């Protein structure tokens, strides 16, 4: 994506009318090229739901018909005609359910094909490329290593002036009745130099019991910044990197985050910057794309300042310690001229700054444990026994 006026934002492919025949041919090309998803779990879910709903809606009618024809079969004395009358309604019901499921799946796939077509054309119109899905994307952000069934979908990627990726993301935790699917949208921006692990937890999107992020961080790592920044974000940085965070988050950069990304959680890890929200980003809504593009463009303008940052701790690690047995002597003459300016440490982050320290959410665990204990007490009839004893006096 060219984040300049040379290629203006074009949302027309998201909303303008499309020819169904063109969409159908496009989907066929996708499948032939291997770009379409190999599996469509959502289509299976649609089929199952439609089938169950249909059976529930017509269960009474089907039972009545089956009863009537079964009685006719009995009256027929087991004759071929009686057996046919008994089997026919079952066959008829199965055929109807099958037809309904097939139609539902075709409609769902048609909607998916149109969505792919629109997003692909939108990506091309804005200097990007569209990809249907990516199983378990190898990204270092906090949401990408959790659960199972990890999958990014409807991915839009740009490479100029730096790599940017927009996508929807799903992963599943638990199993059986306790299984839960987590929904996220993310923007991944590749940086030119590794930076300390920093998290900006947006306060405006927090849940009732605190942060909506899937990870909790040691409170001692929270850094308060000047101005109104603390009203919008809780900033976490590794201990000992407070001055580095202040260097990275100057007042002008803080203003950019407040004005353009106050509703988004932000993570800087390794040489990546991530923007997160618990909603889909890659949609057919022009307003969502305009917001995301504006947010990324506003931040990209300041990344050159970050790329000048160096971790002074790496310079300390790189300096070798002289062995006491080596006698000091005059420096030999060099066949080249050494630079007189101070050398900068190499790009990178010392080990202690690469990851934040996580904490166990004891408050949430205690609250959940209290609910479980209360439920067990109710099931035991303990309160019922106390009430009976009180009112029996």
**Average pLDDT, whole number, for the chain?**
81
pLDDT at residue 151 is higher than 60: yes
Q: For the residues 234-250, what does the mean pLDDT come to?
A: 97
Predicted confidence at residue 368, as pLDDT, reads 55
Predicted confidence at residue 110, as pLDDT, reads 43
Q: How confident is the model at residue 72 (pLDDT cuts 50, 70, 90)?
A: low
The whole-angstrom separation of Cα 353 and Cα 242 is 11
Q: How confident is the model at residue 107 (pLDDT cuts 50, 70, 90)?
A: very low
Q: Which two tokens stand for residue 328?
A: 């000091």
pTM of the model: 0.75
Q: How confident is the model at residue 109 (pLDDT cuts 50, 70, 90)?
A: very low
Predicted confidence at residue 209, as pLDDT, reads 77
Higher pLDDT, 62 or 178: 178
Tokens 């002597």, residue located: 329
Predicted confidence at residue 34, as pLDDT, reads 87
Classify burial at 77, counting beta carbons within 10 Å of its beta carbon; exposed 0-12, middle 13-18, buried 19 or more: exposed
Higher pLDDT, 258 or 82: 258
CA torsion 11→267→201→253, rounded to 10°? -70
The whole-angstrom separation of Cα 224 and Cα 337 is 46
The whole-angstrom separation of Cα 311 and Cα 333 is 31
Long-range contacts at 150-156 (CB < 8 A, ≥ 24 apart):
152/186, 153/37, 153/282, 154/115, 154/116, 154/119, 154/130, 154/280, 154/282, 155/130, 155/131, 155/282, 156/119, 156/122, 156/123, 156/128, 156/129, 156/130, 156/131, 156/282
Q: For the residues 162-170, what does the mean pLDDT come to?
A: 98
Q: So where are the chain's domains?
A: 1-127, 132-313
240 sits in the region (left: phi over 0; alpha: psi -120 to 50; else beta) called left
Q: For the residues 272-292, what does the mean pLDDT come to?
A: 98
Q: For the residues 184-188, what does the mean pLDDT come to?
A: 99
Q: Which two tokens stand for residue 391?
A: 């009112």
Q: How confident is the model at residue 78 (pLDDT cuts 50, 70, 90)?
A: low
pLDDT at residue 350 is higher than 90: yes
């Amino acid at each position: 994506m060219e984040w300049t006026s040379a290629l203006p934002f074009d949302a027309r492919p998201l909303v303008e009318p499309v020819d169904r025949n063109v969409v159908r041919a496009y989907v066929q090309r996708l499948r032939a090229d291997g770009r379409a998803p190999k599996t469509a779990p959502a289509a299976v879910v649609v089929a199952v739901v439609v089938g169950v709903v249909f059976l529930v809606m017509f269960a009474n009618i089907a039972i009545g018909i089956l009863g009537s024809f079964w009685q006719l079969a009995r009256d027929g004395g087991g004759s071929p005609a009686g057996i046919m009358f008994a089997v026919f309604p079952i066959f008829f019901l199965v055929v109807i359910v099958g037809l309904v499921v097939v139609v539902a799946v075709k409609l769902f796939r048609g909607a998916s094909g149109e969505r792919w077509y629109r997003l692909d054309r939108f990506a091309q119109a804005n200097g990007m490329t569209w990809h249907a899905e990516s199983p378990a994307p190898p990204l270092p952000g906090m949401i990408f290593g959790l659960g199972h069934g990890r999958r990014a979908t409807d991915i839009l990627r740009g490479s100029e002036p730096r790599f940017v990726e927009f996508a929807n993301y799903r992963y599943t935790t638990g199993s059986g009745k306790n299984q839960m699917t987590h929904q996220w949208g993310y923007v991944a921006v590749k940086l030119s130099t590794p930076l300390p692990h920093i998290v900006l937890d947006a306060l405006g999107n927090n849940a009732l019991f605190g942060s909506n992020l899937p990870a909790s961080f040691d409170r001692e790592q929270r850094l308060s910044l000047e101005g109104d920044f603390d009203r919008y974000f809780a900033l976490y940085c590794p201990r000992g990197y407070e001055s580095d965070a202040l260097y990275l988050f100057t007042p002008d950069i803080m203003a950019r985050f407040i004005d353009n990304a106050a509703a988004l959680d932000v993570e800087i890890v390794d040489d990546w910057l991530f923007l997160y929200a618990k909603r889909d980003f890659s949609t057919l809504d022009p307003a969502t794309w305009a917001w995301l593009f504006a947010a990324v463009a506003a931040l990209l303008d300041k990344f050159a300042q970050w790329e000048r940052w160096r971790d002074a701790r790496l310079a300390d690690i790189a300096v070798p310690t002289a062995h006491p047995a080596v006698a000091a002597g005059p420096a030999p003459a060099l066949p080249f001229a050494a630079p007189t300016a101070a050398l900068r440490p190499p790009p990178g982050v010392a080990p202690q700054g690469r990851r934040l320290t996580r904490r166990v959410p004891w408050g949430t665990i205690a609250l959940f444990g209290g609910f479980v204990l209360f439920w067990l007490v109710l099931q035991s009839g303990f309160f019922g026994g106390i009430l009976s004893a009180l009112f029996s006096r």
